[in-house]
């Protein structure tokens, strides 16, 4: 019973995220919707592989082409997902179909080989690909296509991981010019997702190298059982982590600018028009305390001031040598000092909410960045410890 449950864990995890991310799509972002499709593909891969471990193996020959197609689509779809977090505002076949052409062509070649091979021979080969010997042209063709699939997946794993790393590195800092919440400003979670998905690929290569026949012949043996359980638990953990990060992750480059903005630091003083805008910005922060909204973005400020986002970002960068996120959280830290001096018994949770940070983690990060001192240490030093 426990063994069966452990073998089913990746199936259940991917089914959970498939349902969560593919239903009620109005409340999900475009990247989250694509992540839902990725979870569906992963669910199909695990679902088809389950038949290796159960007595009803007659379905395997029919599911085999779909298994290979789903596996081939996983990595290009994950690349599209990262593109939607960085450079593309929505999925479109015109823009993204090119990433799916090779997997589709290989799938069609596999189906052609399956149809051209006598079914009995095809079935014997599917059940024991490592040991089945046949000079049949159909079987030889299918062996070549299977080799092509494995090479394609390895190339995809490397190319997607590298391509995603470049995109995240290039556009990750854009979030700091848009969001005020430190959790939204951080690209490290997206980089973590990319790393975890790379590990998914490495585990997949290990699993494929063992060969299906190794697990099909004797699933009562200790070593095949142990390996299969370990692999499935690792898969379940990794896909749960990817889903957990993805369902909270905001777009890193919300304005989807292709070229990185470069602000010149040494440009002298602001001109008259810029000083007027800066005065309006400071009025919003000092008088209206707009920074207390934890979901504040630079577009909110731009709309209130009556100018565009790029102009606001440029003025803040030129005058204070800060991005928008750092600028806003500087005001929040000042507010924190005022609030805690009046209310030293406030908990961290209350302080983070009433000062606009949203989370305790964001409060601690912002305070350390500005004061160069951990908040608990500063609080104790100033005898403002919670009672």
Domains defined along the chain, listed by start: 2-246 (1.20.1070), 290-381 (1.10.10.60)
Which pLDDT tens digits describe the chain residue by residue (387 residues)? 566 677 789 999 999 999 999 987 778 889 999 999 999 999 999 988 877 666 556 677 788 899 999 999 999 999 999 999 988 888 998 889 999 999 999 999 999 999 999 888 888 888 777 667 777 888 899 999 999 999 999 999 999 999 999 999 888 777 777 777 766 556 788 999 999 999 999 999 988 877 666 555 555 666 777 888 888 899 999 999 999 999 888 887 776 555 444 444 444 577 888 888 999 999 999 999 999 998 888 889 988 988 888 888 888 888 888 888 889 999 999 999 999 888 888 888 999 999 999 889 889 989 998 988 898 888 888 765 554
Asked if 290 contacts 301 with a C-beta cutoff of 8 angstroms, the reply is: yes
Task: Look at residue 387 in the predicted model and tell me its pLDDT.
Answer: 42
Query: In a 10 Å sphere around its CB, with 0-12 CB exposed, 13-18 middle and 19+ buried, how is residue 233 labelled?
Result: middle
- What residue has token string 């585990």? 203
Task: Look at residue 188 in the predicted model and tell me its pLDDT.
Answer: 84
Query: Cα(259)–Cα(256) distance, rounded to whole angstroms?
Result: 9
> For residue 297, what are the β-bridge partners?
179
Asked if 115 contacts 145 with a C-beta cutoff of 8 angstroms, the reply is: no
Query: In a 10 Å sphere around its CB, with 0-12 CB exposed, 13-18 middle and 19+ buried, how is residue 294 labelled?
Result: buried
Asked if 61 contacts 123 with a C-beta cutoff of 8 angstroms, the reply is: yes
Q: Which of 234, 305, 220, 178 is nearest to 13 (CA)?
A: 234
Give a three-class secondary structure readout of the chain: CHHHHHHHHHHHHHHHHHHHHHCCHHHCCHHHHHHHHHHHHHHHHHHHHHCCCCCCCCCHHHHHHHHHHHHHHHHHHHHHHHHHHHCCCCCCHHHHHHHCHHHHHHHHHHHHHHHHCCHHHHHHHHHCCCCCCCCCHHHHHHHHHHHHHHHHHHHHHHHHHHHHHHHHHHHHHHHHHCECCHHHHCCHHHHHHHHHHHHHHHHHHHHHHHCHHHHHCCCCCHHHHHHHHHHHHHHHHHHHHHHHHHCCCCCCCCCCCCCCCCCCCCCCCCCHHHHHHHHHHHHHHHCCCHHHCCCCEHHHHHHHHCCCHHHHHHHHHHHHCCCHHHHHHHHHHHHHHHHHHHCCCCCHHHHHHHCCCCCHHHHHHHHHHHHCCCHHHHHHHCCCCCC
Query: Cα(311)–Cα(297) distance, rounded to whole angstroms?
Result: 14
Tokens of 30: 């475009």
- What residue has token string 């800066």? 278
User: 383's torsion region: left (phi>0), alpha (psi -120 to 50) or beta?
Assistant: left
Asked if 243 contacts 35 with a C-beta cutoff of 8 angstroms, the reply is: yes
Close Cβ partners of 366 (under 8 Å, ≥ 6 residues apart): 182, 329, 330, 332, 333, 357
Task: Look at residue 102 in the predicted model and tell me its pLDDT.
Answer: 95
User: 140's torsion region: left (phi>0), alpha (psi -120 to 50) or beta?
Assistant: alpha
């Amino acid at each position: 019973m426990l063994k069966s449950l452990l073998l089913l864990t990746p199936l259940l995890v991917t089914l959970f995220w498939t349902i969560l991310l593919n239903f009620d799509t109005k409340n999900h972002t475009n990247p989250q919707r694509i992540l839902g499709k990725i979870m569906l593909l992963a669910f199909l891969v695990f679902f088809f592989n389950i038949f290796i471990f159960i007595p009803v193996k007659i379905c395997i020959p029919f599911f085999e082409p779909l298994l290979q197609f789903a596996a081939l689509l996983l990595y290009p779809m994950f690349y599209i997902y990262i593109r939607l977090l960085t450079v593309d505002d929505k999925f479109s076949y015109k823009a993204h179909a090119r990433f799916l052409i090779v997997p589709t062509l290989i799938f069609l070649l596999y189906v052609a080989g399956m149809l051209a091979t006598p079914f009995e021979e095809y079935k014997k080969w599917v059940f024991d690909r490592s040991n089945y010997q046949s000079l049949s042209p159909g079987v030889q063709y299918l062996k070549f296509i299977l080799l092509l699939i494995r090479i394609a997946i390895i190339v995809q794993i490397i190319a997607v991981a590298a391509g995603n790393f470049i995109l995240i590195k290039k556009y990750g800092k854009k979030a700091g010019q848009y969001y005020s919440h430190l959790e939204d400003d951080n690209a490290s979670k997206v980089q973590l997702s990319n790393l975890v998905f790379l590990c998914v690929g490495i585990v997949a290569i290990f699993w494929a190298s063992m060969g299906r026949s190794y697990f099909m012949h004797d699933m009562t043996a200790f070593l095949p059982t142990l390996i299969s359980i370990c692999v499935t638990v690792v898969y379940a953990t990794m896909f749960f982590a990817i889903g957990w990060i993805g369902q909270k992750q905001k777009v890193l480059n919300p304005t989807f600018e292709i070229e990185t903005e470069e602000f010149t630091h040494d440009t002298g003083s602001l001109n008259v028009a810029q000083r007027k805008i800066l005065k309006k910005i400071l009025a919003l922060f000092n008088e209206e305390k707009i920074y207390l909204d934890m979901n504040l973005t630079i577009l909110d400020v731009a709309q209130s001031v009556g100018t565009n986002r790029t102009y606001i970002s440029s003025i803040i960068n030129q005058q204070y040598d800060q991005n928008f996120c750092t600028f806003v959280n500087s005001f929040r830290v000042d507010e924190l000092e005022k609030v805690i001096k009046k209310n030293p018994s406030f908990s961290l949770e209350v302080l983070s909410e009433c000062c606009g940070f949203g989370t305790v983690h964001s409060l601690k990060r912002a305070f350390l960045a500005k004061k160069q001192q951990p908040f608990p240490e500063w609080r104790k030093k100033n005898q403002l410890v919670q009672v």
